[in-house]
Copies of this chain bind each other. A is one copy, B any other.
Amino acid sequence: MNNSEIGDKHNTEPVKYLSKQEAEALEADLLDDYRFGKQQLLEILGHSCAMAITKVYPLRTLPRKQPTVLVICGPDQNGAIGLVCARNLRSYDYEPTIFYPKRSLDVIYKDLTIQCEKMDIPFLSYLPTEVQLINDAYNLVVDAVLGIEAEFGEVKEPFASILATMKQIKIPIISLDIPSGWDADAWNPEGIYPEMIISLAAPKKCALQFTGKHHFIAGRFLPYDVQKKFELNLPVYPETECMVEIQDGKSTL
């Protein structure tokens, strides 16, 4: 295949932004028909998110002396991807700290937690309510709190308080898939304003209302049949990259 043939594969149709229902159907297909494993998907997605973060916020550009990153993990899948992301960031010489207040009993999630602990990643026992402490201590916050499963307006404690704190954070927030407190289908004008959204595998409708700086799609693994079935019109991932930045539904690369 030569370059012009690869070039021909660029989609001319705009990238599809999935509804919550479509995203859930896609995930079910991946697990049931395409036989992807949960552990496998978490690893692919968490690794790709870490790679996207290194692209936008390389070590040398971080304002603090130490390359600190606060990763806030929720109890479900989004939080597990945050754990994998933190572990990968650690291996790229970032210094992640994890806040994971409600730990899942799922064995896969427990193992991901142990992997982080064994990589000497510190876990916070509480989130400072004095937000200036967060702004001063970290370069970035990774929001892996709530994902596609979260119901709009139904955020329970401790996550309601966490989101209230996150709303006041002045350093860049990077949201995995769905900014926490938003709905998959629509933003929450009262919610957080991330500087970056990393859509997992395909963007969700809420990202259409994203006004931050960087929108990436991460996770280059979707079988072509799935892409066709859901009419995703994904941008072409450059070379061997596992993530791609998009603007107005088109690749910026």
Contact = CB atoms under 8 A, between A and B. Distances in A.
Interface of A: 1-3, 6, 33-37, 39-40, 42-44, 47, 51, 54, 59-60, 66-67, 87, 91-93, 95, 108, 110-111, 114-115, 118-120, 220-221, 223-225, 237, 239-240
Nearest to A225: B118
A99 to B, nearest CB: 21
A60 B3 contact: yes
Number of copies: 2
12 contacts: A1-B95, A2-B60, A3-B60, A33-B118, A39-B39, A39-B40, A54-B240, A91-B220, A91-B221, A92-B240, A115-B223, A118-B223
Contact of A40 (B1, B2, B43, B224): B43
A35 B93 contact: no
Given A1-B59, A1-B67, A91-B221, A37 B39 contact: yes
A126 to B, nearest CB: 25
B37 A120 contact: no
A36 B115 contact: yes
